[in-house]
Structure 1
Amino acid sequence: MSRVSSQVVRRVFETAANRLDDPQKKAVSDYLAHSGTTADKHYRMKSLESIVMAAGLLKKLQKQKKSSAGPSGQEALGEGTSPQSVESSSHGDHCALPQPSLRQLVIDLERIPEGNNKVKFHKEFKSLLEKHPVTLSGQIPKMRHRRDTSEANQRKLYTHWAEKQLEMRVKHTREQFNRRRPTKERVDTWVKKQGWKCKAANISTEVVENWAPSGSEDRIMDNKQIQTLVKTQDWKGLHITQFEEKGDGIITTRTFKKGEVVCDYHGPVVSGKEGENIHKNTTGKETGYIFFFRNSKGQSLCIDAHSDRCHCHPDKRTFGRLLNHSKKNSNIKPLHCVVDKDGEMKDVILFIATKDLPVGEEVLFDYGVNKKYFNNEGSDLDWL
């Protein structure tokens, strides 16, 4: 069933009321315009007789509108009703109209004011925000301030303001973990550091349960969490394992969402020419650990990861260099990023999941080479 606004309902009934005489039209118009505000200002519906008469007219018009359309496409007047009877009833005695039940009358009377009350509260809340805007660290407006805005709705203003602040805090928190799914404990810790006077669990539960990667890929390295992981190489959710035919590889130990950062390709960045020299002086087994790319200026560069351990993490085997190749079954893609490190722009290669990765799946990417590369030396490379 489609929803319609109270304004549309008014127009429909006012159009249908054109067939009535002038006193009846005025009664319907006053009834439709009735609200708590107008009643206080103008006392339009003073008489109970006027209320009952107007409700009866609307009920009768409603029945006529529900009648089925005849073959000519015009509205039927309803079973057993002739044009003459409608004409006579519309100009006849008001008391001759069928009277609605008390319950239906109450429903009819409350239906339109309810919509007006929502509009009124919206205006009150907007007025409150002008003096007490919702902020991440702000305090809920005091009772005296809420009562100055609306004596009747001060409690509702309290609840609504608090809900808006919670929404703002959840959104802000989610932005801190926009490319790596956090644990509830991690979010709790982050929220508590903000000094917000609230239950961290309310925010962390919402963030973790409804988490999904967000934000532009161009801004991924703005994320402090990703910067820390690139620096520490403490990527979670991955495990080094042995494959019978291809040796070392990486599998997932948790699920990853499409668009999530899985890990990076770690190693010193050198020029493309230097990378080619390293390639020529390394064995075929080590060749696959050199990652060639071009930066945003079009310069040819290379990440040299042919050594089993890097000088900055001598106690770790980094994940990126152990990722295996697959053109058909790749499930991650490399993304070149730049990060400002102490005033120096550094190049980073991140790996982004191209689909949801379940637990226990091997992480693969397309190296972008074939057996004709490296002056046909690729024909001797087993990983191709």
Structure 2
Amino acid sequence: QAFETATRHLSHMDRSVVADYLSPSTSTKSGNVIRARMLLSLIAGESSGSGEPAPRTSGAECPQMDERAAYDLFIKSFPVAINGRCPGKLVRTELVGIAYERLCYDHWRSDQKTLRMKHVIHFGRRLPTEHRVHAWMEKEGWTSNCPDVQQILRQWRPSGSVDTAVDCSVIKKLLQYQRWMGLIIVEIEGKGRGVKTTRKF
């Protein structure tokens, strides 16, 4: 009876989440565990205050849950990953409520696309072709929510640095046997190592 009284203002779905969490004989999904704890925290706060709690249809629509809090709760259960997939609508609704499920979906996919862009932006030491980028993303298994290839090519930067290239064993071998007169590797103040000439060409 105490449970019914404390949770009467919650939706049927939220009451089920809390009941499953409190029952020792059932296993609760990780996302529902977080939501159940949040709901219990809200109930405890209301019980310690004065007056009756205001009716509401969903725990995700209460004043204590705003867009930022809803998304923080969402990514704790479903962290953004390069090769991950955003959970379906039913799972999202169970966790953050119908008011925020679409917002969390859009934010999650936007963050994933940004993560993928950062992952692919340093594509080797040479500017890749559009075909090669497409092939690489296909190999990664990215069938949706892919970064724009033209944007990747515009923002592309080579991986490594000049020092890394100079330290490369292949480059060192070429330098060892080169017969280029008047070229030397020197330390350039503030820039690292570079190539200078010792005579006019």
Is contact 2:81–2:112 with CA below 8 Å preserved after alignment? yes
The answer to whether residue 140 in structure 2 is matched with residue 206 in structure 1 is no
Q: Summarize the alignment of residues 371-382 of structure 1 with structure 2, pairs less than 5 Å apart.
A: none
Aligned mate of 1:135, from 74, 81, 90: 81
Report deviation, 1:269.
2.2
**Partner in structure 2 of residue 184 of structure 1:** 130
Match of 2:19 in 1: none
Cα deviation, 1:134-156, whole Å, max 9, x if unaligned, reads 11111111222211222212122
Partner of 2:8: none
Residues 149-180 of structure 1 show CA distances to partners (whole Å, capped at 9, x for unaligned) of 22212122111111111110011000234x53
**Does the CA contact (< 8 Å) of 1:169 and 1:203 recur in 2?**
no
TM-score (norm 2): 0.52
Superposed, 1:82-161 pairs within 5 Å as 120-148=66-94, 149-161=96-108
Identify, as 1 or 2, the structure richer in helix: 2
d(CA) in 1 for partners of 2:71 and 2:102?
11
Pick 1 or 2: higher relative contact order, CA cutoff 8 A, min separation 6.
2
- Counterpart of 1:173 in structure 2 is 120
Aligned residues with identical type, % of pairs: 23
Q: Distance in 1 between matches of 2:77 and 2:69?
A: 13
**Aligned in 2, Cα 1:287/1:165: closer, same or farther, shift over 3 Å?**
closer
* CA–CA separation in structure 2 for the residues paired with 1:153 and 1:203: 27
- Please give the alpha-carbon distance, in whole angstroms, between the structure 2 residues aligned to 1:209 and 1:287: 35
Letter aligned with residue 207 of structure 1? I
Question: CA contact under 8 A between 2:186 and 2:196: conserved in structure 1?
Answer: no
Q: Deviations over 1:163-200 (max 9, x none)?
A: 111110011000234x5332222211211111123265
Q: How many Å separate the matches in 1 of 2:144 and 2:154?
A: 19
Q: Supply the AA of the counterpart residue of 2:113.
A: L
TM-score (norm 1): 0.30
Consecutive unaligned residues in structure 1, runs of 5 or more: 1-40, 44-116, 232-263, 276-285, 296-332, 337-364, 371-382
Whichever of the two has the greater Rg, that structure is 1
**What is the DSSP-based 3-state SS (H/G/I as helix, E as strand, rest coil) of the residue aligned with 2:148?**
helix
The one-letter amino acid paired with 1:208 is L
Counterpart amino acid of residue 198 in structure 1: S
For 1:127 and 1:157, locate their aligned partners in 2 and report how far apart those are by CA, in whole Å.
Answer: 10
Report the Cα offset of residue 206 of structure 1.
Answer: 2.1
Closer, same or farther in 2 for the Cα pair 1:366/1:293, shift >3 Å? closer
Asked whether the equivalents of residues 92 and 101 of structure 2 are also in contact (C-alpha less than 8 Å), the reply is yes
